[in-house]
Amino acid sequence: MDLQLLAAALAIGLGALGPGIGIGIIGGKAMEAIGRNPDAENQIRTNMFIGIAFAEAVAIYALVVALIIKFV
Amino acid sequence: MTISLAAEEVLHLGGFPVTNTLLTGFLVSAFLVIFSFLVIRRISLVPTGFQNIVELLIESFLDLVEKVSGSQKRRFFPFVATFFFFILFSNWTELLPGVGSLGFWREGQGEKVFIPFLRAATADLNTTLALALVSVAAVHILGFRELGVGKYLSKYFKNPLKEPMNAFVGLLELISEFAKIISFSFRLFGNIFAGEVLLIVVAFLAPLIAPLPFLGLEIFVGFIQALVFSLLTLVFLTMAVEEAH
């Protein structure tokens, strides 16, 4: 049982849970907002992408830790 | 298939190790400078042809800057736009054919390691850390210049006897300034490095049609990360010059 491989897999596996849910929530709220106010679609979409980039950044931190565990 | 977290050194300039990311960073900077020079050379008040496209890009970014910072747009625009365009083109370098694939073999620890000549500049933690440090330092220096040393420091250090809650918040904000540096650098580094690894792995597994959607994803991610970095810098700059409420 290679602990290093297990650690890398767990790091990214568990680390992607939170951001996955977060991005889903952001996307859902953006859909709701567009449904309520279709004229503001462009604004909402732009801000949604910015929100998604932040949520994704946390997943990227987890990925970097996994890569460090595996390759360093 | 070698994946190396740290940038690999390709030349030695009199004792100074030049890495492949440094080389690419220089190439991107040279490209931006030469490109701007070529556009400026035959500039006219009524734009024609190519100048139209460049003005479109610059003006749309200026509109975005205006939405965030309002009246201070002219002041922050050159700084933030430089971050945006440098990071954007550095990120997109990883998509060019030849970057990451053309290189040489080097003997290291008993086995041959592949060293590419070029690698995206922002796929190196050094570059992104430098960009993050410049960004955060600029925000604080601007805050000091605008509000004066005492007033700016009073945003973070409040008297714990008079307002204990705010003093604690001020301390947290101070710590979060350091967290910003880590967050900026790792967000950009992680996205671009993971993108490079993704492209290498997909090209290794299924070289023919499969890489296409991933290349598309990387174009998108490169753009979004450049945008996020510049917008965040802009937001912090705007917040640094406003009075504490």
pLDDT tens digits for range B127-166: 999 999 999 999 999 888 888 888 888 888 877 777 788 8
> What's the pLDDT tens digit per position in B215-239?
999 999 999 999 999 998 998 888 8
Does B182 touch chain A if contact means CB atoms closer than 8 Å? Answer: no
Contact B228 A60 (CB under 8 A): no
Q: What is the pLDDT of residue B15?
A: 85
Min distance A53 CA to chain B CA atoms (Å): 7
Yes or no: say if A23 and A52 are a contact pair by the CB < 8 Å rule: yes
The model's pTM: 0.87
Reported confidence tier of residue B92, pLDDT bands at 50, 70, 90: very high
- pLDDT at A60 > cutoff 90: no
Does A53 touch chain B if contact means CB atoms closer than 8 Å? Answer: yes
Mutate to test the interface with A, among B88, B191, B196 (most CBs of A within 10 A): B191
Which residues neighbour A69 within 8 Å (Cβ) at sequence distance 6 or greater? A4, A7, A8, A11
Which residues neighbour B148 within 8 Å (Cβ) at sequence distance 6 or greater? none
Partners of B181 in the β-ladder: none
- pLDDT at B245 > cutoff 60: no
Min distance B138 CA to chain A CA atoms (Å): 22
Rounded to 5 degrees, φ, ψ at B125 are: -60, -30
Q: What is the pLDDT of residue B148?
A: 85
ipTM of the complex: 0.71
| Nearest-by-CA chain B residue for A51 | B228
Rounded to 5 degrees, φ, ψ at B226 are: -60, -45
Indicate the SS3 state at residue B15.
coil
Assigned token pair, B75? 């002041």
Yes or no: say if B192 and B220 are a contact pair by the CB < 8 Å rule: no
Partners of B16 in the β-ladder: B13
Contact A60 B190 (CB under 8 A): yes
- pLDDT at B244 > cutoff 70: no
First to last CA, chain A: 19
Contact A72 B227 (CB under 8 A): no
Contact B227 A50 (CB under 8 A): yes
Does B19 touch chain A if contact means CB atoms closer than 8 Å? Answer: no
Look over chain B and give the mean of its residue pLDDT values, rounded to a whole number: 88
> What's the pLDDT tens digit per position in B40-71?
887 777 777 788 888 888 999 998 888 888 78
- In the stretch 224-243 of chain B, residues with CB closer than 8 A to chain A read 224-225, 227-228, 231
Yes or no: say if B79 and B138 are a contact pair by the CB < 8 Å rule: yes
Please state, in angstroms and rounded to a whole number, the distance separating the CA atoms of residues B129 and B132: 5
Q: What's the mean pLDDT in A35-49?
A: 88
Yes or no: say if B39 and B201 are a contact pair by the CB < 8 Å rule: no
Min distance A21 CA to chain B CA atoms (Å): 19
Q: What's the mean pLDDT in B106-119?
A: 85
Rounded to 5 degrees, φ, ψ at B14 are: 60, 50
Indicate the SS3 state at residue B105.
strand
Contact A61 B186 (CB under 8 A): yes
> Would you give the DSSP letter of residue A39?
G
Burial B54-80 (b: 16+ CB within 10 A, else e): beeeeeebeebbeebbeebbeebbebb
Min distance A35 CA to chain B CA atoms (Å): 24
Count of pairs with CB atoms under 8 A, one residue in A, one in B: 42
Q: What is the pLDDT of residue B243?
A: 65
Nearest to A34 by CA among A22, A23, A46: A46
- pLDDT at B172 > cutoff 70: yes
| Nearest-by-CA chain A residue for B197 | A67
Instruction: State the CB neighbour count (10 A cutoff) for residue A45.
Output: 12
| Nearest-by-CA chain B residue for A69 | B5
The percentage of residues in chain A with a pLDDT greater than 90, rounded to a whole number, is: 53
Q: What's the mean pLDDT in B101-130?
A: 88
Name which of A49, A54, A71 is nearest B5 (Cβ-Cβ). A71
Does B190 touch chain A if contact means CB atoms closer than 8 Å? Answer: yes
